[in-house]
Amino acid sequence: MTDFNRRHFNALLGATVVAAGSAGAESHGGGTVHEVQMLNAHPDDRSERNVFLPDIVRAQPGDTIKFIATDRGHNAVSDENMTPEGGAEFRGRINEEIEITLETEGTYGYYCQPHRALGMVGLILVGDASVNFEEARAARQRGKAEERYEDIFARAEEMLAAEA
């Protein structure tokens, strides 16, 4: 796929996530469980390496994010520079499936520790994501993470605008 087509696909995927409520989500107890796969390659574009799928999750306070170690060699770690004040931080071990319940509204950035510079990053938007959206967007990134976050934040902005 060309960059244009990949961006177009990702935009459509983001719109589909909003329309469906959230891909890979199921309701339980106090909230919804959103599943995020940790993958060596995107299933629809094998050239897109080291990815979280989906890379944007729209959640509400009390929802749980479940990171699934679909492929080995990955983990999920919250970015302290992209966590709202009072928000939960998390750090999974390599190959570990973890669940985190988020109560604090805002924008949460996260990454795979060994593959961060290769662009394995993602975003969770909880309730009123505007609480720290611009601060999270301005957080300094390295390597391919910067490029991927530009795309992710652009799609997140579109998702939030569609809700308004």
Provide the 8-state DSSP code for 27.
Answer: E
C-alpha distance from residue 38 to each of 26, 52, 62, 105 (Å): 18, 5, 22, 24
Cα-based angle 39, 40, 43 (whole degrees, multiple of 5) = 70
Residues tagged in the binding site annotation for Cu cation: 74, 112, 115, 120
Residues tagged in the binding site annotation: 74, 112, 115, 120
Distance, CA of 13 to CA of 54 (rounded, Å) = 9
Per-domain residue ranges of the chain? 3-159
Predicted confidence pLDDT, tens digits, the chain (164 residues):
344 444 444 444 443 343 334 445 554 556 999 999 999 999 999 899 999 999 999 999 999 999 999 999 999 999 999 999 999 999 999 999 999 999 999 999 999 999 999 999 999 999 999 999 999 999 999 999 999 999 999 999 999 999 98
CATH 2.60.40.420 for domain 3-159, yes or no, is yes
Distance, CA of 54 to CA of 17 (rounded, Å) = 9
Place of tokens 């060699």: 73
φ and ψ of 126, to 5 deg: -110, 120
Provide the β-strand partners of residue 98: 67
Distance, CA of 65 to CA of 42 (rounded, Å) = 19
Encoding tokens for residue 99? 């669940």
